[in-house]
Structure 1
């Protein structure tokens, strides 16, 4: 037994064991990402260069860019996204100020409800607005019952302003959430000192609170801008006549016109705009230290 023990191979030192290289751990998630996201996106780009007549051509890009429908949809998408983002920033900042710094019963419950609201689908908020202000909604029903008129006066939901209202209503909590997180880090002692020195509430907001909230405003605003550029459900469910955004144009070309190369061209443009805006946001936020 002694000889057996003497001839047994010594255990390999811990440092000499084979280890899995760090890059190998990245292969599974990269493979899943490529299969689920990158591969379908590559198919869309490929289809945009394959006309129905066969072969490979960029004719679909020329046809789409030259069409009035695309230019109108691009302009409508941009102004709705910018207008909605501006409205969300103003309304979200005001509401977050009240929730964070104005004590009132149920304030914590409202803050928690904002987290729940973020999980709601966009079409649900649009349906709620239709029930309130639609042509046969509650507001028009009360008007016709009170006046005896054949129809009510509230018809703005089927206009671009109705889409704008719906998007501001739905996306404002996306601005409020980072703002509330930023406001929670502001020490109340700073506000008390500023108030004791004679600063009015408007000056305190402008010189004390707003500088602390700028990174959160940039984060929430950029997120809302990208989401509004790609919003489809709100525009579809409002039924706004003459309001065609880039996502709606993709739907129209693919489903109604069966123009799949044209639909893919519009989709590629929409993706490039979104990625470009996200890249710009990253550069700005990095320089701002957000």
Structure 2
């Protein structure tokens, strides 16, 4: 009895070094996160509260919010991000359906290429579109050679629609990747039973496949929406005139106007929108089971 009672405090004291050790191991990544991300973010927020006249005030925020350029950039950013997300969801869902459920030669190679495509920089896709549809691209060059016209008909890349096309082209695989993973988990027996009961393909997609794909659609759509809100390279490389998004406005104020407090204000707004959308995505993903 005496030895048994003496073993209890010994076991209790043996757990304390493990708890201390876990805190020690957690400190380096937390410190690295604070130095690499949180401290620079703090500097941006602090600079947004320090006008050029000195002191600390909300004047940079009131000046930026009152400017027409900021309101137009905010509206352009939102509609481009929402439009690109909707386009990516529709196109990505259709392409993922074909790759996953329509057997054709090279289907596996196409699915693997999507993984490679995700590593491409956004400006590379934009340059490819410029080579095809730019003012001196192949399509306009072919039109000039055939008709003898001085200019070609494809001038949309320098408009907001060109930016929209470039973003849909680049971000669609980010929707397809989680969809293909979700479709691989769909039981083919369910599809065969539904087909044998007389269900048409559209009904099978709507009642069998789509419910299984909702979490993947939510995840892919939320990712694309946040990435489109912060996209800079595509807008810059298309050279679209009059298309100013929030990231482009940050660049313009910081580099062209040397208005660093104003640039930091726009950056803080952009970060706040992105974090807010991520929070909404987390709530929605829990409800749909993502």
TM category (shorter chain) comes to: over 0.9
The alpha-carbon deviation at position 14 of structure 1 amounts to 7.8
CA distance in 1, matches of 2:157, 2:67: 27
Q: Deviations over 1:6-52 (max 9, x none)?
A: xxxxxxx7875544342222111000000000000000000001111
Q: Secondary structure at the match of 1:57?
A: coil
Q: Is 2:167 aligned against 1:167?
A: yes
> Which residue number corresponds to residue 146 of structure 2?
146
CA distance in 2, matches of 1:58, 1:24: 40
The within-5 A match list for 1:24-43 is: 24-43=24-43
Runs of 4+ more than 2 Å apart: 13-24
The alpha-carbon deviation at position 53 of structure 1 amounts to 1.6
> Which residue number corresponds to residue 235 of structure 2?
235
Give ranges in structure 1 of 5+ residues lacking alignment. 1-12
> Which residue number corresponds to residue 259 of structure 2?
259
> Which residue number corresponds to residue 249 of structure 1?
249
TM norm structure 2 = 0.94
Q: Secondary structure at the match of 1:53?
A: coil
CA distance in 2, matches of 1:250, 1:73: 10
> Which residue number corresponds to residue 274 of structure 1?
274
Q: Secondary structure at the match of 2:287?
A: helix
> Which residue number corresponds to residue 91 of structure 1?
91
The alpha-carbon deviation at position 126 of structure 1 amounts to 0.1
> Which residue number corresponds to residue 74 of structure 2?
74
The alpha-carbon deviation at position 287 of structure 1 amounts to 1.7
CA distance in 1, matches of 2:13, 2:55: 56
CA distance in 2, matches of 1:135, 1:186: 45
Query: Which of 1 and 2 has greater Rg?
Result: 1
> Which residue number corresponds to residue 8 of structure 1?
none
* Kept in 1: contact 2:214–2:288 (CA 8 A): no
> Which residue number corresponds to residue 216 of structure 1?
216
Q: Deviations over 1:38-83 (max 9, x none)?
A: 0000000000011112111110000000000000000000000000
User: How big is the alpha-carbon RMSD for the aligned residues of Structure 1 and Structure 2?
Assistant: 1.1
The within-5 A match list for 1:2-151 is: 16=13, 18-19=17-18, 20-151=20-151
CA distance in 1, matches of 2:30, 2:123: 32
> Which residue number corresponds to residue 7 of structure 1?
none
Q: How many residues align?
A: 278
The alpha-carbon deviation at position 241 of structure 1 amounts to 0.3
> Which residue number corresponds to residue 9 of structure 1?
none
